[in-house]
């Protein structure tokens, strides 16, 4: 039995925005508008942001679309994150890169994201990275203030270890731990993260589910070659693309991992959406696992 009801559900894939703005495709407002419309038409209403994307500019790029078409806002679920302080001309007071989960910074960040995204509420607000100086009392207070004011509906974390998650979750309910999971990054399967999500009924969301594109781009790498070989064979069997097989590997896990995909190509988003229909067998899953770790299981 799931311990708590999170009252939140995500679309089968979450659309990552990190590479849509200045850190990638650098879409114009009309390109972004088109992209958002097409995602919504496919039934994908979850968009993943962070204050820092594009050096603190991508939320505002997205916000321009919402400003032009405010009716879009209620059709989507917006996640954003705070807590990493980058040195940037857009944040001249930051002297060094650091993490900050103080009440003051959390509330400042939520207000800034609301403004940039041209909205008056966030669906999900995540602490982006564990802060060594995190005070759970203070975080819980900040979250309560934001929740009571209607500015944020749900809270979560990203890149938290299981003990960090346990600690904060005992002070304030968390709906997700967004962690890196892909065939190139398997830690969550072994370090208790997915078990913890299963135990508490929490949705694990997976960033860089295609290894940030590395599986496709580095063809000299031995791990990539092994993964591609197995994935290509499975692609033939399932009449699927390589991306779909790599995502099917995540969907097979009983914790119901939701991939946060990072492509800026709408046809790749469309293709990703079909991946949940591919049901790999246990052995096929382990073939991919074996290819990823370079040896058979013990």
Residues within the interface to ligand NAP (CB under 6 A):
16-19, 48, 128, 158-159, 178, 207-213, 216, 243, 260-265, 268
Closest distance between ligand NAP and the C-beta of residue 161, in Å? 14
Task: Identify which of residues 213 and 294 has a Cβ nearer to ligand NAP in the complex.
Answer: 213
Residue nearest to ligand NAP (CB): 262
Task: Identify which of residues 250 and 283 has a Cβ nearer to ligand NAP in the complex.
Answer: 250
Residue 203 CA to residue 257 CA, distance in Å, equals 7
Closest distance between ligand NAP and the C-beta of residue 148, in Å? 26
Closest distance between ligand NAP and the C-beta of residue 201, in Å? 21
Task: Identify which of residues 22 and 145 has a Cβ nearer to ligand NAP in the complex.
Answer: 22
User: Any catalytic annotation for residue 53?
Assistant: yes
Residue 59 CA to residue 80 CA, distance in Å, equals 9
> Which single residue is written with the structure tokens 């500019």?
57
Residue 49 CA to residue 205 CA, distance in Å, equals 13
Tokens of 284: 């096929």
Task: Identify which of residues 51 and 284 has a Cβ nearer to ligand NAP in the complex.
Answer: 51
Residue 282 CA to residue 90 CA, distance in Å, equals 48
Closest distance between ligand NAP and the C-beta of residue 104, in Å? 22
> Is 96 within 8 Å of 87 (Cβ atoms)?
yes
Residue 288 CA to residue 272 CA, distance in Å, equals 18
Catalytic residues: 53
């Amino acid at each position: 039995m799931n311990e708590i009801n999170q009252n939140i559900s995500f679309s089968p894939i979450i659309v990552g925005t990190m590479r849509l703005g200045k850190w990638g495709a650098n879409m114009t407002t009309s390109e972004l508008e088109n992209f958002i419309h097409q995602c919504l038409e496919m039934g994908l209403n979850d968009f993943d942001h962070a204050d820092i994307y594009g050096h603190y500019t991508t939320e505002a790029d997205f916000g321009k679309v919402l400003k032009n078409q405010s009716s879009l806002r209620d059709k989507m679920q917006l996640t954003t994150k705070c807590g990493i302080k980058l040195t940037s001309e857009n944040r001249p007071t930051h002297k060094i890169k650091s993490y900050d989960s103080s009440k003051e910074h959390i509330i400042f960040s939520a207000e800034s994201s609301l403004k940039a995204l041209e909205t008056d509420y966030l669906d999900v607000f995540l602490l982006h990275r564990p802060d060594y100086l995190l005070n759970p009392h203070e975080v819980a207070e900040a979250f309560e203030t934001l929740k009571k004011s209607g500015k944020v509906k749900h809270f979560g974390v990203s890149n938290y270890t299981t003990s960090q998650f346990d600690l904060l979750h005992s002070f304030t309910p968390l709906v997700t731990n967004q962690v890196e999971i892909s065939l190139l990054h398997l830690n969550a399967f072994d370090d208790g993260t997915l078990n913890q999500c299963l135990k508490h009924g929490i949705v694990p969301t997976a960033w860089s589910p295609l290894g940030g594109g590395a599986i496709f781009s580095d063809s000299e790498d031995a791990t990539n070659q092994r993964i591609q070989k197995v994935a290509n064979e499975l692609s033939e069997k399932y009449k699927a693309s390589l991306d779909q097989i790599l995502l099917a590997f995540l969907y097979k896990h009983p914790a119901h991992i939701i991939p946060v995909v990072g492509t800026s190509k709408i046809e790749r988003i469309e293709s990703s959406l079909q991946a949940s229909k591919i049901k790999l067998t246990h052995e096929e899953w382990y073939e991919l696992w074996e290819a990823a770790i370079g040896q058979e299981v013990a």
